[in-house]
A = this chain, B = another copy of it.
Amino acid sequence: MPTASNSGARAARTQQHAARTEAARERLKAWIAERGLKQTRQRDLIVDSFFSASGHLSIDELLARVSLRDRNIGAATVYRTMKILTESGLASARHFDDGQTRYEAALDRDHHDHLICTKCQTIIEFENERIEELQDEVALEHGFTVTRHKLELYGLCGKCRAKSDR
């Protein structure tokens, strides 16, 4: 039974990713056409690899996935494609404290912030409406108009703390 429900969950996730990839490709196609750009085999492959993965991918990680399908795709193309995805609003770039830019799917996604385990690199997403409100209040008190913000909590996740407590 656990096996069945696990594979069921996995199948659902896969299907969800497939739908998401599909939608992303549609939107990108339109965005690209609007500006007289071109759809290429490389871009399709990169976009596919990106949306069929989950989480917060670095260029290296994405390139690794892409290379499995076509080892001739260069890093520059991956950088260029992610820039396009970011500009079109389909992905968003995040700069955590590990030195490299990470990208996450932004398609129909709400705003959220992150909890990051400094030991195992697990990233957990959260939304807290009250914090968002307080941020606006703080900004207002200082005469600021906030256009974006970054809230990252770094620490140890439950598993890693358990290990280090031992």
Binds B, one of A48-56, A81-89, A138-146: A138-146
A134 to B128 alpha-carbon distance, docked (Å): 8
A152 partner residues in chain B, CB cutoff 8 A: 149-151
Q: Which of A24-32, A65-73, A153-161 contacts B (4 or more CB under 8 A)?
A: A153-161
Cβ-defined contact, B150 with A151, below 8 A: yes
B-contact bits for A85-128, CB 8 A (1 contact / 0 none):
00000000001010000000000000000010110000010101
- Report yes or no: A138 in contact with B146, Cβ–Cβ below 8 A: no
A135 within 8 A of B: yes
19 CB < 8 A contacts A-B = A115-B142, A115-B144, A115-B146, A118-B147, A124-B142, A128-B138, A131-B131, A131-B135, A131-B138, A135-B151, A144-B156, A145-B161, A146-B155, A147-B155, A149-B153, A149-B154, A150-B150, A150-B151, A150-B152
| A residues in contact (CB < 8 Å) with B | 95, 97, 115, 117-118, 124, 126, 128, 130-131, 134-135, 138-139, 141-158, 161
